[in-house]
Structure 1
């Protein structure tokens, strides 16, 4: 599959590009918002397409030709205000879902936030961020797309551990964190794993290898 990675220049996105290239099963296509980022990916032998999540659905759709699956791993980042959280994490995600449907693409993987489905678990200081993630996820799940929503725990820049816990009803896990590279590996493994189709789940470091963890969903 040709996989469009929206937010490919982010930390998870960059890991996902590398994982897909290394595995060789699917072809990563980077969706980025700056010309210099296009060149950086092209220098690595990765096709890159220029787009902006604050533009129209039709302009996003223009970057989806010859794409078989879409991964949304974009985010406004911690240094921006909640206006950008609304525009990128919520509306940008919704517009990407709409563009995917309009393009006739069925497969969509969303990177969300740990326990974004449960309002009672939201951090008070980050509540607007969780609201954005919550309703973007709902929009995707209410669409006709073949979705997977992955809600990773605290993201760490550590080496891959390679074992995870994936569950739609996680209570008192051994860990509440996960390396970004392992999130990328789970995304890659989810793309054509039918056990993840029409599923949403929290994801942290655990004891199962990735394939076994996903097959338990």
Structure 2
């Protein structure tokens, strides 16, 4: 019942891995190179070396579900956005389906539903997320798509909202709250083919991610 975490070395990925391990959830952190291993090994978290731009199918061995929270990052160009955020996600969906995994949990973005409404510099990223989400929906792979608002480094409150109406238009959520939401979703294995917007708010994870 191991969960493969793609993008484990990212800001959300690291927080989620620490939370999941502390909660006793079996996880495998997919990382790109050995230099990233010490942080995980110090915490007793299993790792696998694999690259979304290469052959990474071995990372799925003996896993039951996937959390995809990988991203090319803000300092790369549209080429990496296409290769990682879009094509990497597509290849991961295909690998999960071919291996018969039970679920694919995708970290997307709230504005991915309408990329042209995003700030200009974010539109290629949002378009990649839009297409990756559409591919996942059409794949037949049981899935959950989590759509956070604008990410911040505020402390995790574990209090969230599901719409802008609840937040008076505040389109933001802490990375810590996203990590806590992923832990809730990983445990809630009965949730399939669902999509959730996630913002900082006043309600519990269990209420919003029901």
Give the alignment's TM-score, normalised by structure 2: 0.93
Q: Secondary structure at the match of 2:70?
A: coil
**Structure-to-structure mapping, 1:65-76, within 5 angstroms:** 65-76=61-72
Task: Output one character per residue of 1:144-202: Cα deviation in whole Å (capped at 9) or x when no partner.
Answer: 211111111111112111111125xx557333111111101111111242674211222
Q: Which residue of 2 aligns with 1:191?
A: 186
The secondary structure found in structure 2 opposite 1:4 is strand
Which residue of 1 is the match for residue 107 of structure 2? Answer: 111
Question: For residue 19 of structure 2, what is the aligned residue in structure 1?
Answer: 19
- Give the superposition deviation at 1:15: 0.5
Please tell me whether the aligned partners of residues 196 and 214 of structure 1 are also in contact (alpha carbons under 8 angstroms).
Answer: no
The more displaced of 9-18 and 123-132 is 123-132
Unaligned 5+ segments in structure 1 are none
Q: Aligned match of 2:87 in 85, 91, 105?
A: 91
Query: Match for residue 46 of structure 1?
Result: 45
**2-side partners of 1:124 and 1:155: how far apart?**
17
Counterpart of 1:144 in structure 2 is 140
Distance of 1:109 and 1:98 partners within structure 2: 13
TM-score by length of 1: 0.90
| 1:173 alignment partner in structure 2 | 167
Q: Secondary structure at the match of 2:209?
A: helix
Give the secondary-structure state (helix, strand or coil) at the position aligned to 2:66. strand
Deviation, 1:212, is 1.1
Per the alignment, residue 159 of structure 1 pairs with 155
For residues 171 and 195 of structure 2, the distance between their equivalents in structure 1, rounded to whole angstroms, comes to 17
Cα distance in 2, alignment partners of residues 133 and 51 from structure 1: 21
Query: How many residues get paired?
Result: 209
1:182 is matched with 177
- Alpha-carbon RMSD across the aligned residues, in angstroms, is 1.6
Cα offset, 1:29, TM superposition: 0.9
Deviation at residue 34 of structure 1 after TM alignment = 1.0
Structure 2 regions of 5+ residues with no counterpart? none
